[in-house]
Amino acid sequence: MTDRSKAPSFNVPKRLVFPKPEEYELRNGLKLTAVNSGTSDIVRLSLVFNAGSRYQNQTFVASATLNMLSEGTRKYDAAKIAELLDFYGSALEVNIDRDFACISSYSLNKYLKETLEVLEQLVKYPTFPEEELKVYTQKHKERLIFERERIDKQAVELMVAALYGAMHPYGSFGKPEDYDSLTAKQLSEFHHSYYSPTNAFAVVSGKLSSNTISLVEDFLGSDSWGSPVIPADTKDFTIHHSIEKQLLKEMSDSVQSAIRIGKIMFSRTHPDYNGMTILNTIFGGYFGSRLMKNIREEKGYAYGIYSMLVGMKESGYFTIATETGIDYTTDCINEIRKELDILQNIPIKEEELALVKNYIIGDLLRSLDGPIALADVLIDLKQSKLEYTQVNDFFNEVVAITPNRLQELANTYLNTDTFTEVVVGNK
Amino acid sequence: MIDYKRYTLNNGLTLVVHRDTSSPIAAVNMLYKVGSKNESPEKTGFAHLFEHLMFSGSVNAPDFDKAIQMASGENNAFTGSDYTNYYITLPKENIETALWLESDRLLSPNITEHNIEVQKSVVVEEFNQRYLNQPYGDIWLLLRPLAYKVHPYSWSTIGKKVEHIQNATAEDVQAFFNTHYTPSNAILSIVADMDEDEMYQLVEKWFADIPNRKAEQNAIPQEPKQLEAREQAVYRNVPSDAIYKAYKMCNRVDADYYTCDMISDILSNGRSARMYRRLVQEKQLFSNISAYLTGELDEGLFVIAGRLLPAISIDIAEQAIEEEFRQLIDKPVTDYELEKVKNKVEAAQIFADTSVLNKAMTLAYYEMLGDLSLANREIELYRKISKDDIGRVGANIFNPKRCSTLYYLSNSKT
């Protein structure tokens, strides 16, 4: 009989294996990072432009520019682009945040050339046709109207606007009617200004062959396009923090309250970013976190509760997020405050810290597993101009961090009085 | 291509293993052949509530999550109508931790009054968050009972109503465990960079001494053939109208299943798909529309789900959907279009196989279907589908008398 009373022994990885990326500068100045990984015959190519919403002069211009790249180019109309990509089984993905706009293609190696030929059209020669823009604005307006019905979305907007000020490039949110005034000319100008090889970087990952780099160079790295000069950034990043520390938006027919509690923190490159990432994990960053244990597993107040550290280029914030039954709203907020106090007043026990360290290391290992995941890690680092070796620095910091250091961080950053509390629902 | 080996333990547990040399991560997947279809109509939501309770620890491992996290692992689970699936990923060196935990909770989970009370509350909040307090969240709570009158697919895995979960007792929960959580009702699959027989030895070590309990499952009441069009209209506080048309189709192991899936691809998979091109981009009737299969084991549903743009009448929208069916049935698809959707299926498969967890889930799933070789043969089956198959199966599915239509209408428009 197997002795079940004893847990089997286990090992925690002592180091991470990060396949060394190769760095290239292509003829037109586009910087390309390539990482060979995996056994499947696939390639992911991502282009990341400094073209997030902070650069736009009117709401939704940045996201519409990115989303409309595939709606028509000099050579192909929208239908043809869709046909070509679908026929090769290739997929496009676009992502945008406050700082960056990213377009990625996922393709089988055997169709990389055909996929790049389409991607080239999208990135260099989009035409932003009026008819497609009309459909786009209609659809997205509807989607936004729907999103704004959700209490969690409302709570996020209220909180972020309260933290930065509603006019701040990181604190503003568009309204559905803002879609009505979008013009093709605005998108075209935004594209010309911000989508250029020298205002971007690229990451290619997958099973790379000898000609992968030259293919990328042929289609995206040879001639120049877009404006050679990036417009001066004149946006005002002065923070206008709401004086009100507790905001309530009543929703009489809601059976739940969305709670968002947050404060301004720092950007991705801050020296305490790694330490706070570890502290955040303990607090509410994984399924076994203190918040999850307390609010879900002990009290049953909510289906889930999370905290996260959001790092942007010029700033960042920390937030706690949950949806709870309206009757639990006040108790839930009190428990969150209590957990923040505990982090400041009581050093974390070695046993819990060991667990969190092992968990984070496993998570790191998973985040480096396979070409698609690896590219995500590289993009995140490149956006902050960090080297890939930073992953190992983080690993070492995880191994070395002490209860004292974590308590120190909690006292520096997680003082309950410094948070803004938002409730959408009922108290 | 997934090279697998299959084993059966003496207690009836099925094991499927596959060696993947590309990843340092192992995936351990445990599938129990029990879902919401095994529930009694008066006590729905049980399979899912039980899934939550399976994380409450077990006789030798009081804290499941902690033990996984300590071994650098991560875990989760989901419940469907037909089966409940638990999965763990962790460094391959620590595979025994996963086997210890999975075997121990199959042997004897901690079903205490306190755990039941807390998880009932968590599940009620999940019900609120995902189904009741969410725009369009209750669509499936309405559509299932419209489409099924006898079969337990008539309720969602979350349950018919919150009260069913609130009324669950410790006896109910224990009885559910005894009936359904037995080695012979489970399929374990492992994908890791490890010798296959070594994986088998480890599974023997942790699972062989768990006695099999006889699973006494009631026969699932089968749905009689639907002979009349069904309709329901509801008004809700949502910004725009939505329409759901659910057609009865074949079961999961029917030869026509893959053709149904391919029809859904022709209609809505990708930006070049017919419904997206014509109904969203050209006619501008919908802000989004999709066609998909519920994919359940017994007779499932072929669903068209669309959200309308403002100022579009629901009749016009519905006629446009039906026009797409006519096109598909009356005019043969072109070779090009057929080739395109087949290429797409094949590429999607290759991308899915880059994940050890995906592969482990795939193996357990096909073992449950009763034909493990399908894990590698599906592409071939899709490749064989002809233009005639599309027309024939399309004509079969899109019969108004086998359709249940839900008109989900916006209050603000009236």
Look up residue B83 and give its DSSP letter: -
**Looking at the structure, do residues B236 and B127 belong to the same domain, yes or no?**
no
**Looking at the structure, do residues B140 and B283 belong to the same domain, yes or no?**
no
Judge whether B3 is closer than 8 Å to chain A, CB to CB.
no
Dihedral of the CA atoms B161, B167, B173, B179 (nearest 10)? -60
- Partner-chain residue, chosen from B25, B341, B348, that has the shortest CB–CB distance to A366: B25
Mean residue pLDDT of chain A comes to 96
Judge whether B141 is closer than 8 Å to chain A, CB to CB.
no
Q: Would you say residue B400 has pLDDT above 80? A: yes
- Partner-chain residue, chosen from A2, A150, A253, that has the shortest CB–CB distance to B135: A150
Dihedral of the CA atoms B54, B58, B61, B66 (nearest 10)? 30
pLDDT band at B413 (very low <50, low <70, confident <90, very high): low
- Enumerate the residues of chain B whose CB falls inside 8 A of the CB of residue A90: 347
- Mean pLDDT throughout A58-71? 98
Q: Would you say residue B198 has pLDDT above 90? A: yes
CB B158 within 8 A of CB B127: yes
- Enumerate the residues of chain A whose CB falls inside 8 A of the CB of residue B307: 142, 146
Residues B297-337 pLDDT 10s:
999 999 999 999 989 999 999 999 999 999 999 999 999 99
Segment 372-411 of chain B within 8 Å of chain A by CB: none
- Enumerate the residues of chain A whose CB falls inside 8 A of the CB of residue B132: 255
**Looking at the structure, do residues B267 and B345 belong to the same domain, yes or no?**
yes
Q: Considering just the CA atoms, what is the radius of gyration of chain A in Å? A: 24
**Position B220 in a domain:** no
- Mean pLDDT throughout B156-162? 95
Residue owning tokens 């069904």: B230
- Mean pLDDT throughout B367-387? 95
Task: Give how far B263 is from chain A: nearest CA, Å.
Answer: 15
Judge whether B270 is closer than 8 Å to chain A, CB to CB.
yes
To test the contact with chain B by mutation, choose from A359, A374, A424 the residue with the greatest count of B C-beta atoms within 10 A, namely: A359
Q: How many domains does chain B have?
A: 2
ipTM of predicted complex: 0.91
Q: How far is CA B179 from CA B38, B48, B109, B174, in A?
A: 10, 15, 14, 9
Cα Dmax for chain A: 75
Range of the domain at B125: 4-207
Query: Rounded CA gap, A193 and B202, in Å?
Result: 60
Residues B45-101 pLDDT 10s:
999 999 999 999 999 999 999 999 999 999 999 999 999 999 999 999 999 999 999
Mark which of B207, B239, B265 sits at the end of a domain.
Answer: B207
**Position B375 in a domain:** yes
In chain B, whose CA is at the least distance from the CA of A294? B118
**Looking at the structure, do residues B238 and B368 belong to the same domain, yes or no?**
yes
Does the distance separating the beta carbons of A142 and B240 come in below 8 Å? Answer: yes
Q: Would you say residue B115 has pLDDT above 50? A: yes
- Partner-chain residue, chosen from B60, B67, B284, that has the shortest CB–CB distance to A5: B60
- Mean pLDDT throughout A141-167? 94
Residue-wise over B182-216: b if at least 16 C-beta within 10 A, else e? bbebbbbbbbbebebeebbebbbebbeebeebebe
- Enumerate the residues of chain B whose CB falls inside 8 A of the CB of residue A11: 91, 93-94
- Enumerate the residues of chain A whose CB falls inside 8 A of the CB of residue B355: 370
**Position B218 in a domain:** no
Residue owning tokens 């935004």: A190
Closest CA to B144 of B157, B125, B130, B132: B157
Does the distance separating the beta carbons of B133 and A139 come in below 8 Å? Answer: no
**CB within 8 Å of B137: residues ≥ 6 apart:** B130, B131
- CATH fold label, A22-221: Cytochrome Bc1 Complex; Chain A, domain 1 (3.30.830)
- Partner-chain residue, chosen from B21, B25, B126, that has the shortest CB–CB distance to A303: B126
- Mean pLDDT throughout A154-169? 96
**Looking at the structure, do residues B107 and B147 belong to the same domain, yes or no?**
yes
Using H for helix, E for strand and C for coil, what is the string for chain A? Answer: CCCCCCCCCCCCCCCCCCCCCEEEECCCCCEEEEEECCCCCEEEEEEEECCCHHHCCCCCHHHHHHHHHHHEECCCEHHHHHHHHHHCCCEEEEEECCCCEEEEEEEEHHHHHHHHHHHHHHHHCECCCHHHHHHHHHHHHHHHHHHCCCHHHHHHHHHHHHHHCCCCCCCCCCCHHHHHHCCHHHHHHHHHHHCCHHHEEEEEEECCCCCHHHHHHHHHHCCCCCCCCCCCCCCCCCCCCCCCCEEEEECCCCCEEEEEEEEECCCCCCCCHHHHHHHHHHHHHCCCCHHHHHHHHHCCCEEEEEEEEEECCCCEEEEEEEEEEHHHHHHHHHHHHHHHHHHHHCCCCHHHHHHHHHHHHHHHHHHCCCHHHHHHHHHHHHHCCCCCCHHHHHHHHHHHCCHHHHHHHHHHHCCHHHCEEEEEECC
Does the distance separating the beta carbons of B69 and A151 come in below 8 Å? Answer: no
CB B149 within 8 A of CB B223: yes
Q: Which residue has the higher pLDDT, B406 or B22?
A: B406
**Looking at the structure, do residues B331 and B266 belong to the same domain, yes or no?**
yes
Does the distance separating the beta carbons of A90 and B347 come in below 8 Å? Answer: yes
Q: How far is CA B47 from CA B74, B85, B111, B138, B174, in A?
A: 22, 11, 14, 19, 12
- Partner-chain residue, chosen from A10, A82, A354, that has the shortest CB–CB distance to B97: A10
CA end-to-end distance (rounded Å), chain B: 54
Task: Give how far A165 is from chain B: nearest CA, Å.
Answer: 28
Indicate the domain borders of chain A: 22-221, 246-425
- Enumerate the residues of chain A whose CB falls inside 8 A of the CB of residue B23: 369-370
- Enumerate the residues of chain A whose CB falls inside 8 A of the CB of residue B66: 288, 355
Q: How far is CA A208 from CA A110, A205, A219, in A?
A: 11, 7, 16
In chain A, whose CA is at the least distance from the CA of B27? A366
**Position B61 in a domain:** yes
**Looking at the structure, do residues B147 and B255 belong to the same domain, yes or no?**
no
CATH class of residue range A246-425: alpha beta
Vertex A117: Cα angle to A111 and A122 (nearest 5): 125
Does the distance separating the beta carbons of A78 and B281 come in below 8 Å? Answer: yes
**Looking at the structure, do residues B260 and B191 belong to the same domain, yes or no?**
no
**Position B217 in a domain:** no
Closest CA to B192 of B7, B375, B18, B1: B18
In chain A, whose CA is at the least distance from the CA of B123? A303
Q: Would you say residue B10 has pLDDT above 80? A: yes
What does the pLDDT read at residue A426? Answer: 87
Does the distance separating the beta carbons of A5 and B346 come in below 8 Å? Answer: no
Q: Would you say residue A59 has pLDDT above 70? A: yes
3-class state of residue B414 by DSSP: coil
- Partner-chain residue, chosen from A323, A363, A365, that has the shortest CB–CB distance to B129: A323
A74 burial (CB, 10 Å; 0-12 / 13-18 / 19+) is: exposed
- Partner-chain residue, chosen from A138, A300, A325, that has the shortest CB–CB distance to B128: A325
What does the pLDDT read at residue B414? Answer: 47
Query: Rounded CA gap, A202 and A216, in Å?
Result: 10
Judge whether B222 is closer than 8 Å to chain A, CB to CB.
no
Judge whether B203 is closer than 8 Å to chain A, CB to CB.
no
Task: Give how far B368 is from chain A: nearest CA, Å.
Answer: 27
Query: Rounded CA gap, A319 and B100, in Å?
Result: 36
Domains A22-221 and A246-425 fall in the same CATH topology: yes
Chains A and B form CB pairs within 8 A to the count of 217
What does the pLDDT read at residue A39? Answer: 85
Segment 146-165 of chain B within 8 Å of chain A by CB: none
Query: Rounded CA gap, B162 and B176, in Å?
Result: 19
Whichever domain contains B98, its CATH number is 3.30.830.10
CB B320 within 8 A of CB B303: no
Residues A254-277 pLDDT 10s:
899 999 999 999 999 999 999 999
Amino acid letter at A149?
E
**Looking at the structure, do residues B84 and B179 belong to the same domain, yes or no?**
yes
- Partner-chain residue, chosen from B74, B107, B124, that has the shortest CB–CB distance to A366: B74
Helix axes A329-345, A403-413, angle to 10 degrees: 130
**Position B213 in a domain:** no
Q: Which residue has the higher pLDDT, A18 or B301?
A: B301
Does the distance separating the beta carbons of B270 and A7 come in below 8 Å? Answer: no
**Looking at the structure, do residues B97 and B47 belong to the same domain, yes or no?**
yes
Segment 281-320 of chain B within 8 Å of chain A by CB: 281, 284, 287-288, 307, 309-310
**Position B219 in a domain:** no
In chain A, whose CA is at the least distance from the CA of B114? A298
**Looking at the structure, do residues B239 and B380 belong to the same domain, yes or no?**
yes
Query: Rounded CA gap, B39 and B34, in Å?
Result: 9
Task: Give how far B145 is from chain A: nearest CA, Å.
Answer: 24
In chain A, whose CA is at the least distance from the CA of B91? A362
**Looking at the structure, do residues B13 and B124 belong to the same domain, yes or no?**
yes
